[in-house]
Amino acid sequence: MNKLILVLFIGVLILASLACGPVQTDNNITITSTAYSSPLYYRYYYSLSELYADSVMVTLGTVDRVVSATDRDMGQGFNESQTWLSTLTEYAFRIERVFKGNQAEEISLFQVTGDRYVDEQGEEVSVTFIHSADNIPFQPGERYLLFLRASEPGRFSTVGGPQGKFIIISGKVFSMDKYITDEKVTRGVSVNGEADWHFLSTIDSLQTGEPQ
């Protein structure tokens, strides 16, 4: 039964990946992830206050570089001759300002950036990468306001998947529904082109417990 549930779930991921094309960012970077999302990956947040409360760190900064990308063995793929590999990517994030948490100049961000299936010889099978909405990769040079949880000491990932990521482009702030078509993904934390100074003043007010 457990194997059947896993196969059905993977099947849904595949259908979603076929239904969605690449996403073009404002930095002219093509993201090959899909717009598929699932409540299995994260809880839904309905306000910035909820995100703030669940974060150990809230910070403004820039993705400096990709540090590493490591495959993790997640077990059997579609059959016994296949292995499911999940890619965990580490990024160095250079901090401008900390709104919550310990002060630092740079932190490590971790994100699952893709899944693929390989055969017994290590060759990729026909179905390769399957991405979910919370796996839209960071790109070096991008500026973000991030709500973070500690996956391990000194290692962070975003709270609520894409809900904890707000990209700043030319002085304007956007939540990840700028790139993700599933409107449920960001729900109560959707931001579409708000002036960065105004958005950051809102984050400032969260420190004092003012309602949002």
pLDDT tens by residue, 51-102: 999 999 999 999 999 998 887 766 666 667 777 777 778 999 999 999 999 9
The residue among 46 and 128 whose pLDDT is bigger is: 46
Q: For the segment 129-163, what is each residue's pLDDT rounded down to a tens digit?
A: 555 445 678 999 999 999 999 977 778 999 988 88
Q: How many percent of the chain have pLDDT more than 90?
A: 37
Q: Per the confidence metrics, is the pTM higher than 0.85?
A: no
Q: What is the pLDDT, as a whole number, of residue 60?
A: 98
pLDDT class for 25, splitting at 50, 70, 90? very low
Q: Residue 67 belongs to what H/E stretch?
A: strand 57-76
Task: Report the C-alpha gap between 55 and 149 in whole angstroms.
Answer: 5
Helix residue ranges per DSSP H, the chain: 2-19, 48-54, 196-206
Task: Enter the tokens of residue 148.
Answer: 């973070």
Q: Which residues pair with 83 in a beta bridge?
A: 76, 118
Q: Residue 45 to residues 31, 96, 109: CA-CA distances in angstroms?
A: 25, 25, 21
How many helices, marked H, and strands, marked E, lie in the chain? Answer: 3, 10
CA 20 – CA 130 distance, rounded (Å): 11
How far is Cα of residue 80 from the mean position of the Cα atoms in its chain?
A: 30
Give the CA count within 13 Å in the CB-facing half-sphere of 121.
3
Q: Which pLDDT score, from 0 to 100, does residue 33 have?
A: 34
Give the pLDDT of residue 111.
84
* Number of neighbouring beta carbons within 10 Å of residue 191: 19
Select, from the ranges 2-6, 31-35, 38-42, 160-164, the one with the highest average predicted confidence (pLDDT): 160-164
Q: How far is residue 154 CA from its own chain's centroid?
A: 18
Cα distance between residue 92 and residue 155, in whole Å:
10
